[in-house]
Amino acid sequence: MITLSHVSKRYPGGYQALIDIGFAIETGEMVFIVGHSGAGKTTLLKLLAAIERPTSGSVVVNGQNVGALKPLAVPFLRRNFGLVFQDHKLLFDRNVFENVALPLQIMGYARNESARRVRAALDKVGLLKYEKSFPITLSGGEQQRLCIARAIVHRPAFLLADEPTGSLDAEYATEIGDLFRSFNQVGVTVVIATHDQTLQARLSPRVIALKQGALAL
């Protein structure tokens, strides 16, 4: 469960990214955060995963106030999230398997258990046959799916995605949309920041609209 109340974010230099945002996301929901570029979608996701801290207001995730977390506690909060980035943030000196194994390695999983979960995640996104390939040899859509496999391999409670279909053509976007729906169906809370209308039409989620940093009704 995620609760935001009276959240504002002002960046150093004076840019006001978010103004007095308040909403709640129940466990198991699928939520789209929509709005034009610069409306504050990415900033909102960053606040949830403690990548940024709010200037005022509170962000509470599973009962923890994210804004007040000690630096040492931040990594453990992040393990509740699977993050899908628009630019994928894959490591190009590691193969597909190793990229997906990264979160499990960090959390100290034993090698066997880790390999089993990595293969399950790769199978889920349809990349099992590319296990030994390097990300650079994959297409844009495959790289995005690899990023999703890495995000869900440790079975997080929340899946946060920032413009997951931003750089993909329609066919790939549909595949990705279906993937998110399947995770949501097994109980994962999915939060997607996007301006992709077709994705929204296909998944018919709850929508939170932002306009110039404020909630738009």
Partner 1 sequence: MTAWFSQHGRSVAQTLQRFARTPLGSVLNILVIGIALSLPAGLYLVIDNLKSASHQFATDPQVSVFMALDADHTEVARVAVRLKQNPRVQSFKLVSRDQALQELRQSSGLGDVVDSLPRNPLPDAYVVNSKDNSPQALEALRDEMAQWPRVAHVQLDAAWARRLDAVLRLAQLIVAGLGVLLAVALLAITFNTIRLQVLTRRDEIEVIKLIGATDAYIRRPFLYYGALQGCAGGLVAWLIISGGVWLVNHNLGELSHVYASLFAFKSLALTDSIFLLLIPGLLGWIGARLSVGRHLALIASK
Q: How far is the CB of 50 from partner 1 (least distance, A)?
A: 10
Residues in the chain: 217
Q: For the chain, count helices (H), then strands (E).
A: 7, 10
HSE value, Cβ hemisphere, 13 Å, CA-based, for 129: 3
Q: How far is the CB of 211 from partner 1 (least distance, A)?
A: 28
Q: How far is the CB of 45 from partner 1 (least distance, A)?
A: 11
Cβ closer to partner 1: 5 or 105? 105
HSE value, Cβ hemisphere, 13 Å, CA-based, for 124: 25
Q: How far is the CB of 49 from partner 1 (least distance, A)?
A: 8
131 neighbors 96 (Cβ within 8 angstroms):
yes
Q: How far is the CB of 36 from partner 1 (least distance, A)?
A: 25
CA–CA separation, 200 and 194 (whole Å)? 8
| Cα dihedral across residues 187, 191, 136, 170: positive or negative | positive
Q: Which residues form the interface with partner 1 (CB under 8 A)?
A: 49, 51, 71-72, 75-76, 78-79, 81, 83, 89-91, 93, 102-103, 105-111, 150
Cβ closer to partner 1: 103 or 205? 103
Token pair belonging to 216 = 């738009």
Cβ closer to partner 1: 99 or 165? 99
Cβ closer to partner 1: 77 or 215? 77
CB atoms within 10 A of CB 123: 13
Cβ closer to partner 1: 105 or 182? 105
